[in-house]
Structures are given as C-alpha cells and as structure tokens.
Amino acid sequence: KAGVTQTPRYLIKTRGQQVTLSCSPISGHRSVSWYQQTPGQGLQFLFEYFSETQRNKGNFPGRFSGRQFSNSRSEMNVSTLELGDSALYLCASSLKVTANTWELFFGEGSRLTVL
C-alpha cells in the first residue's frame, strides 16, 4: 500500500517569492494535516483538511494557506516567503482507528530553504 507522497522533496526560494507544496495521502484516507518542523520549534501544526474543508487551523499567519481536492490530495501555499519559513514541511494523512482516535501517517516531507 503506497504511503503519503509529498512533492517536491527539496526546493530553494528567495524572500518574497511564493511556494506550493503537494501531498497525496494514503488511499482511503480523507483527512490531511500539514506541519512545519524546525530545530528550534519542533513540530508545529498548520492546518487540517477533511473532505475538502478546513477542519482545524494552527497559529500561523495568513501567508500560509491550503486546500484539499475531491480526490483527497492537498496543497499548501506560502506567499511572501521569509527567511524564517525555512523548514521541513510535513504532510500527514489520518485514519480513524477507534471512535475517538485518529492515527497519523507522515510523508517524507518537503525541505524548503529560503535565501
């Protein structure tokens, strides 16, 4: 069974540019979450989508946005890039395993470097 696929794996941008990252979840998973991981802050939640609707949102500025398509694939966009946006961006697809618990499965991430 294919895992979570993220593209691109690596990218370099300059300040002020924008970037779009893509995520294909595990087949059958309808929930997709995005996280930012940096050495200083650890894993920080960006947003979660379920059935094309944003269900939860973290504490990130409006420059960070996302969407989900009808096939559950998701994209996130960061506009007006800043140096501090350099990070590993992780996508996770979720499976409901009990009435109250969802398990997250992560992709390999997209490493963004902003110069």
Partner 1 sequence: EDQVTQSPEALRLQEGESSSLNCSYTVSGLRGLFWYRQDPGKGPEFLFTLYSAGEEKEKERLKATLTKKESFLHITAPKPEDSATYLCAVQATGGSYIPTFGRGTSLIVHP
Residue 68: strand, helix, or coil = strand
Q: Output the six-digit token pair for 15.
A: 């300040």
Q: Which stretch binds partner 1 (CB under 8 A): 12-20, 51-59, 69-77, 79-87?
A: 51-59
Rounded Cα gap, residues 100 and 115, in angstroms: 42
Rounded Cα gap, residues 5 and 75, in angstroms: 12
Q: Does 102 bind partner 1 (CB under 8 A)?
A: yes
Q: Minimum distance from CB of 91 to partner 1 (Å)?
A: 8
Q: Does 104 bind partner 1 (CB under 8 A)?
A: yes
Rounded Cα gap, residues 28 and 21, in angstroms: 21
Cβ(8)–Cβ(109) below 8 Å = no
Cβ(91)–Cβ(78) below 8 Å = no
Q: Which stretch binds partner 1 (CB under 8 A): 11-19, 64-72, 79-87, 96-104?
A: 96-104
Q: Minimum distance from CB of 16 to partner 1 (Å)?
A: 26
Indicate which single residue of 13, 30, 73, 111 sits in contact with partner 1 (rule: CB under 8 A).
111
Which residues of this protein are in contact with partner 1, per CB under 8 A?
4, 6, 33, 42-43, 45, 48, 55-56, 58, 88, 90, 92, 94, 97-98, 100-109, 111
